[in-house]
């Protein structure tokens, strides 16, 4: 892969840049242009399908579609025969330095909830096919999350809106950009005279300086208008809390690598939805490598298992509402010892909460306090963003008192309005709308009609607005009520800019012209203000000051960041914090049905629902329940027993008279009486994946927003649970069925051998424990070794101490290797295709379990059982020690899978890629737009047809594409030059791939570590993957 970073020059952009929707939609043109190249056809016509010539604008989609269907059904390995003549359609003018059939990388950035994440997008012949992190970006450090990995599929989503539409009674008419521009101009002409009376703009949270400037110009032009921002997952606790503690809202930044003791109060600070989550994960796990330095110790108090909790050395499950009392208690404890300065105020009075007097909790908190005090300046206390202001105030107070401020915890000033609640703002706006005081409304992105809390009633109020414009990627719930819907441009389609959490500015660079001619918010507003609607020019102008000349601008675009644009770090003065008020519930211990707490969390897959139509993310197994294609209410084992419910029971959750139906998930490790419920499901106008009412695609999951309220948008008390329906078969990828006692005993017996671990102290005493845990008999081979492994010898090391189970690697693998999506029914049958899976095991007492993750790619055994049983030699051993899988030789006996001890092989029971040209063998769609999905395929990897086995190849295409140029240049491949897709995206650097024959390579040295061990090595498969045993660092006082 060509790692060289390029800047999109105006030239290479212009041929496809089209703002006006001509009679012929841009989409066909760009698709046509792109898929003419032989490489692209390679991608789509793999195996037997006919090449997908992009539909020329004049040709009817149907005929072409039928041809393709016919060809893909037609059997026979006669792909080589001259059935059809392939065409080669070269560019008429090939831009400088463009080599057809090679990839190049461009820096860009993706914004989520007002925070930018720097990315590298891989472009293949002008179309983005893969996303990775930008190593230069402070929040990424080269890592990317599932959201980013999945986002590239969103570009080619055939369900994206492809035309302007206008409301007409109940229905909607397709319209044109011209018509909209005309209507909008007239509307604004009126408004200019009234100075923007009754004009409102509702936008997503954005950190874009260009948009901010645009906003100012807009408000200047319409002084009476208002600009509201709303984000369903917006939190203001931290800003309000820091304002309480420091007098001003602040952002908080951490250096986990420096910390020795870390306390998380209901904070999943390694999650991609947490500010700088991926960077935090890198720092946290960096401090947990026992081989060369002391390990840090992580305490987590949380309401349900999170990646952070899974990594913890000590974990305490408490309801989110109980955290406030815990914070007060700790402040009381620590202030007493840390002796705060007078102006810092006295500590909190010890709350006399029932649950705090519980021996276990008491012991835990005292140990924590002691440990924190023993590590002045080397600790970190973090609070969950959903926690109220008081908790954040107390937490930052603790950080200051413990001397962490400026050492491990850093502060930057936040916007003055950061402390205000988005929900209040939206409520106010909606009331105005309902009262008819809003006659013009622009909704830029977001989807309030779906994700506003139930008590807001945005959709209804929207009907009352005379002239409403919705700019959106999809014609979704909100667009339904808007008088105008305007297609938006994807972030990979438009110029823009955005700031990282620490303020570093990134330029958002487009990889492809808007496929559906969509517009970015910038371009839309510029047009309405009568400015030049060129994203590039707007961004360039905005940063003239920072980077004067074009050269520096191009460098910024190339690097993906503007150096030195981060906010200045400050060391705020801690002021005294008044005693926090604790309600009855917050002090109480156990709660019962009707009084349960519900916690609304961002979905680790589809976030707030914006990715609901992303098949990769929908099918991704959730980290803890391993549930795909659904959401559920997570209950602790005890609570589930008390309610007499189990996995799959359909429940009705009632809160404040509102209800939602979701299946039950028994999630060990949840706090009793606390229910975790993911947002983003139950979309009614998402599309063919996420659900669309009026079609046979029913909404996926239950919509948690239905029981959300403006007062308590993040966690709320007083939930009643009732069983409403018969048990439902969940599409889990692990523990697909309720496990019987024999199964549980079996797991308990073998788990210590599979996931080997020891406390740090024991590890230091006996470093080889992992190797000697299982007796390795003298190895004898039935066959002589086929190869001697001169030259390269590829291997992998996976550090179980670092894996946080975020599953970014799984999606990265899916994107890199064209892994098909099989759909809910097939997952429920146990036919998911993911090459890399992350196994999840619970340990110990189900009421306070520990949780272990184990990523499991193909182990590339040297003595591979799969190879010996294939009757046709479709899986053979390469001279570099890979188990080559040859799809075009495979006849699908599936014997290899039976004989694979790791069961990492996947089989195409149907032609799961048929959806490129039709949904499934049963319900082929004749919609030619489905072909758009073919554009995301990686042409370097064969797209599998039905009836063949497949599995992880160690990204052999990346190996080949690094080896060949190296050989051509007569140079050796250096370590780290080849990264597997999973390794590249891993936030914690848990996966390392390389050449075992290169003694200096990282992987060779990791496999030499004492704690490295082979999974099921005693069976003499000689796996090439080795795991690094997990080392915990428990506090002796809590042992």
Query: Interface residues for another protein in 63-122 (CB under 8 A)?
Result: 73, 75-82, 85-94, 99-102
CB of 956 to another protein, least distance (A): 5
Q: Among 152, 622, 289, which Cα is nearest to 633's?
A: 622
* Residue 884 touches another protein, criterion: CB under 8 A: yes
- DSSP-based three-state secondary structure for 540: helix
CB of 21 to another protein, least distance (A): 19
* Residue 908 touches another protein, criterion: CB under 8 A: yes
* Residue 415 touches another protein, criterion: CB under 8 A: no
Q: Measure the CA–CA gap between 128 and 134, rounded to whole angstroms.
A: 15
Give the footprint of another protein on residues 718-757 (CB under 8 A).
734-737, 740, 742-743, 746-747, 749-751, 754
* Residue 165 touches another protein, criterion: CB under 8 A: no
Pick between residue 37 and residue 348 the one whose CB is nearest to another protein.
37
CB of 781 to another protein, least distance (A): 12
Pick between residue 570 and residue 876 the one whose CB is nearest to another protein.
876
Which of 544, 967, 1000, 1008: binder of another protein (CB under 8 A)? 967
Pick between residue 743 and residue 844 the one whose CB is nearest to another protein.
743
Q: Measure the CA–CA gap between 230 and 425, rounded to whole angstroms.
A: 7
639-646's contacts with Cβ under 8 Å and 24+ in sequence apart are 639/596, 639/670, 639/672, 639/673, 640/664, 640/666, 642/592, 642/593, 643/593, 643/721, 643/723, 645/721, 645/723, 646/727, 646/738
Which of 693, 898, 972, 1037: binder of another protein (CB under 8 A)? 898
Tokens standing for residue 940:
């370097």
Which of 35, 47, 50, 302: binder of another protein (CB under 8 A)? 47
Pick between residue 224 and residue 872 the one whose CB is nearest to another protein.
872
Pick between residue 317 and residue 885 the one whose CB is nearest to another protein.
885
Instruction: Count residues binding another protein (CB under 8 A).
Output: 114
Packing angle of the helix pair 521-528, 535-542 (nearest 10 deg): 90
Which of 906, 929, 931, 933: binder of another protein (CB under 8 A)? 906
CB of 74 to another protein, least distance (A): 10
Residue with tokens 């309720």: 738
Pick between residue 18 and residue 893 the one whose CB is nearest to another protein.
893
Tokens standing for residue 65:
């579609």
Cα 320 to the center of its chain, rounded Å:
23
Give the footprint of another protein on residues 772-811 (CB under 8 A).
783
CB of 276 to another protein, least distance (A): 31
Pick between residue 77 and residue 976 the one whose CB is nearest to another protein.
77
Q: Measure the CA–CA gap between 796 and 835, rounded to whole angstroms.
A: 15
Pick between residue 49 and residue 409 the one whose CB is nearest to another protein.
49
198-217: burial string, b at 16+ Cβ within 10 Å, e else? bbbbbbbbbbbbbbeebbee
Which of 274, 442, 902, 1027: binder of another protein (CB under 8 A)? 902
Which of 709, 895, 997, 1022: binder of another protein (CB under 8 A)? 895
CB of 623 to another protein, least distance (A): 13
Q: Measure the CA–CA gap between 516 and 785, rounded to whole angstroms.
A: 55
What is the DSSP-derived secondary structure letter of residue 607? B
Give the footprint of another protein on residues 909-948 (CB under 8 A).
909-911, 921-922, 940-942, 946-948
CB of 71 to another protein, least distance (A): 13
Give the interface segment with another protein, choosing from 394-402, 805-813, 924-932, 951-959 (CB under 8 A): 951-959
Give the interface segment with another protein, choosing from 107-115, 150-158, 559-567, 962-970 (CB under 8 A): 962-970
List all residues 6 or more positions away from 768 whose beta carbon is below 8 Å from its beta carbon: 1010
CB of 427 to another protein, least distance (A): 45
CB of 858 to another protein, least distance (A): 13
Residue with tokens 């990424």: 140
Q: Measure the CA–CA gap between 981 and 813, rounded to whole angstroms.
A: 6
Question: Do the strands 596-601 and 685-687 form a parallel or antiparallel pair, or are they unpaired?
Answer: unpaired
Pick between residue 590 and residue 739 the one whose CB is nearest to another protein.
739
Give the interface segment with another protein, choosing from 38-46, 334-342, 670-678, 699-707 (CB under 8 A): 38-46
CB of 308 to another protein, least distance (A): 22
Give the footprint of another protein on residues 625-684 (CB under 8 A).
none
- DSSP-based three-state secondary structure for 746: helix
Pick between residue 630 and residue 880 the one whose CB is nearest to another protein.
880
* Residue 968 touches another protein, criterion: CB under 8 A: yes
Give the footprint of another protein on residues 3-22 (CB under 8 A).
15
Pick between residue 537 and residue 825 the one whose CB is nearest to another protein.
825
Residue with tokens 């994700």: 451
Pick between residue 594 and residue 752 the one whose CB is nearest to another protein.
752
Which of 35, 45, 162, 477: binder of another protein (CB under 8 A)? 45
CB of 874 to another protein, least distance (A): 8
Q: Measure the CA–CA gap between 724 and 1025, rounded to whole angstroms.
A: 46
Q: Measure the CA–CA gap between 129 and 119, rounded to whole angstroms.
A: 13
Q: Measure the CA–CA gap between 421 and 768, rounded to whole angstroms.
A: 54
Tell me the CA distances in angstroms from 179 to 166, 182, 462, 855, one per residue in order.
10, 5, 21, 53
Question: Do the strands 467-472 and 484-487 form a parallel or antiparallel pair, or are they unpaired?
Answer: parallel
Burial (CB count <10 Å: 0-12, 13-18, 19+), residue 73: middle
Q: Among 765, 755, 759, which Cα is nearest to 798's?
A: 755
Give the interface segment with another protein, choosing from 242-250, 406-414, 903-911, 1029-1037 (CB under 8 A): 903-911
* Residue 25 touches another protein, criterion: CB under 8 A: no
Burial (CB count <10 Å: 0-12, 13-18, 19+), residue 922: exposed
Give the footprint of another protein on residues 824-883 (CB under 8 A).
826, 829-832, 837, 839-841, 854, 856, 865, 868-873, 876, 878-880, 882
* Residue 1013 touches another protein, criterion: CB under 8 A: no
What is the DSSP-derived secondary structure letter of residue 338? H
Give the footprint of another protein on residues 587-616 (CB under 8 A).
none
What is the DSSP-derived secondary structure letter of residue 994? E
């Amino acid at each position: 892969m060509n790692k060289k970073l390029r800047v999109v020059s105006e030239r290479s952009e212009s041929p496809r840049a089209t703002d006006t929707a001509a009679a012929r939609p841009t989409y066909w043109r760009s698709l046509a242009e792109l898929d003419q190249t032989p490489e692209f056809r390679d991608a789509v016509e793999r195996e037997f399908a006919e090449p997908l010539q992009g539909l020329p604008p004049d040709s009817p989609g149907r005929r072409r579609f039928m041809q393709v269907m016919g060809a893909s059904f037609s059997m026979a390995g006669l792909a080589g025969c001259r059935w059809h003549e392939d065409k080669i359609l070269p560019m008429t003018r090939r831009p400088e330095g463009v080599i057809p059939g090679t990839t190049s990388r461009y820096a860009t950035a993706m914004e989520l909830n007002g925070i930018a994440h720097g990315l590298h997008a891989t472009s293949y012949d002008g179309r983005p096919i893969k996303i990775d992190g930008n190593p230069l970006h402070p929040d990424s450090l080269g890592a990317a999350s599932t959201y980013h990995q999945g986002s590239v599929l969103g570009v080619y989503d055939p369900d994206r809106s492809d035309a302007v539409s206008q409301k007409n009674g109940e229905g909607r008419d397709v319209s044109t950009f011209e018509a909209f521009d005309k209507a909008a101009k007239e509307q604004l002409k009126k408004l200019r005279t009234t100075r923007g009376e009754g004009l409102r703009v509702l936008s997503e949270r954005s950190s874009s300086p260009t948009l901010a400037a645009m906003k100012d110009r807009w408000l200047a032009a319409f002084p009476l208008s208002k600009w509201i921002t709303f984000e369903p997952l917006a939190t203001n606790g931290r800003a309000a809390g820091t304002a309480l503690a420091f007098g001003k809202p602040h952002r908080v930044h951490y250096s986990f690598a420096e910390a020795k003791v870390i306390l998380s109060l209901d904070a999943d600070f390694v999650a991609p939805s947490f500010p700088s989550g991926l960077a935090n994960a890198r720092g946290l796990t960096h401090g947990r490598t026992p081989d060369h330095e002391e390990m840090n110790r992580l305490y987590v108090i949380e309401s349900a298992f999170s990646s952070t909790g899974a990594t913890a050395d000590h974990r305490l499950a408490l309801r989110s509402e109980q955290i406030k009392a815990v914070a007060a208690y700790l402040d009381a404890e620590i202030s007493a010892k840390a002796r705060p300065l007078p102006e810092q105020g006295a500590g909190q009075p010890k709350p006399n909460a029932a649950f705090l007097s519980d021996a276990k909790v008491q012991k835990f908190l005292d140990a924590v306090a002691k440990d924190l005090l023993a590590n002045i300046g080397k600790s970190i206390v973090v609070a969950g963003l959903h926690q109220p202001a008081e908790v954040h105030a107390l937490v930052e107070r603790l950080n200051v008192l413990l001397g962490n401020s400026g050492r491990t915890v850093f502060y930057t000033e936040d916007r003055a309005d950061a402390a205000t609640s988005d929900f209040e703002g939206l409520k106010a706006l909606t009331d105005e709308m309902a009262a008819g005081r809003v006659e013009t409304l622009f909704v830029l992105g977001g989807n309030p009609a779906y994700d506003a809390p139930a008590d807001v009633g945005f959709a209804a109020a929207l009907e009352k607005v005379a002239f409403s414009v919705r700019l959106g990627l999809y014609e979704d719930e909100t667009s339904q009520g808007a008088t105008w819907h305007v297609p938006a441009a994807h972030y990979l389609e438009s110029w823009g800019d955005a700031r990282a959490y620490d303020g570093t500015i990134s330029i958002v660079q487009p990889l492809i012209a808007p496929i559906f001619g969509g517009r970015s918010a910038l371009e839309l507003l510029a047009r309405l203000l009568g400015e030049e609607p060129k994203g590039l020019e707007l961004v360039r102008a905005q940063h003239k000051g920072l980077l004067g000349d074009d050269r520096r601008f191009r460098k910024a675009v190339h690097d993906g960041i503007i150096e030195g644009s981060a906010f200045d770090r400050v060391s705020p003065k801690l002021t005294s914090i008044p005693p926090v008020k604790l309600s009855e519930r917050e002090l109480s211990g156990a709660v019962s049905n009707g009084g349960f707490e519900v916690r609304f969390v961002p979905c680790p897959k589809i976030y707030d629902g914006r990715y609901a139509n992303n098949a990769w993310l929908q099918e991704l197994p959730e980290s803890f329940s391993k549930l795909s294609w659904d959401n559920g209410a997570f209950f602790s084992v005890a609570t589930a027993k008390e309610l007499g419910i189990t996995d799959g029971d359909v429940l009705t959750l009632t809160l404040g008279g509102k209800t939602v139906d979701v299946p039950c998930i028994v999630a060990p490790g949840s706090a009793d009486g606390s229910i975790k419920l993911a947002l983003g499901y139950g979309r009614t106008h998402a599309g063919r994946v996420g659900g669309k009412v009026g079609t046979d695609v029913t909404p996926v999951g239950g919509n948690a927003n239905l029981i959300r309220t403006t007062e308590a948008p993040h966690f709320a008390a007083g939930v009643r649970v009732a069983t409403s329906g018969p048990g439902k078969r969940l599409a889990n990828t692990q523990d697909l069925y309720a496990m019987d006692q024999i199964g549980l005993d079996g797991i308990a017996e073998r788990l210590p051998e599979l996931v080997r671990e020891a406390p740090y102290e024991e590890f230091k005493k006996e470093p080889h424990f992992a190797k000697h845990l299982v007796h390795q008999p003298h190895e004898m081979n039935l066959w002589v070794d086929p190869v001697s492994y001169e030259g390269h010898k590829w291997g992998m090391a996976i550090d179980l101490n670092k894996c946080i189970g975020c599953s970014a690697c799984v999606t990265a693998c899916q994107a890199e290797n064209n892994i098909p999506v099989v759909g809910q029914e097939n997952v429920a049958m146990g036919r998911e295709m993911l090459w890399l899976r992350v196994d999840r095991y619970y340990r110990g007492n189900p009421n306070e379990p520990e949780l272990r993750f184990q990523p499991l790619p193909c182990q590339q055994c040297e003595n591979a059982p799969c190879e010996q049983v294939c009757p046709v030699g479709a899986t053979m051993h390469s001279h570099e020690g890979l188990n080559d899988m040859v799809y075009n030789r495979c006849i699908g006996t599936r014997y290899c899978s039976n004989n694979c001890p790791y069961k990492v092989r996947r089989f195409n029971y149907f032609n799961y890629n048929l959806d490129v040209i039709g949904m499934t063998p049963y319900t082929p769609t004749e919609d030619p737009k489905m072909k758009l999905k073919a554009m995301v395929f990686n042409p370097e990897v064969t797209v599998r047809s039905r009836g063949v086995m497949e599995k992880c190849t160690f990204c052999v295409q990346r190996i080949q594409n690094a080896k060949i140029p190296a050989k051509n240049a007569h140079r050796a491949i250096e370590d780290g030059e080849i990264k597997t897709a999973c390794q590249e995206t891993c936030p914690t650097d848990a996966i390392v791939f390389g050449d075992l024959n290169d003694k200096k390579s990282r992987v060779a040295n990791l496999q030499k570590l004492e704690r490295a061990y082979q999974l099921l090595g005693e069976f003499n498969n000689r796996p090439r993957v080795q795991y690094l045993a997990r080392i915990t660092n428990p506090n002796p006082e809590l042992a």
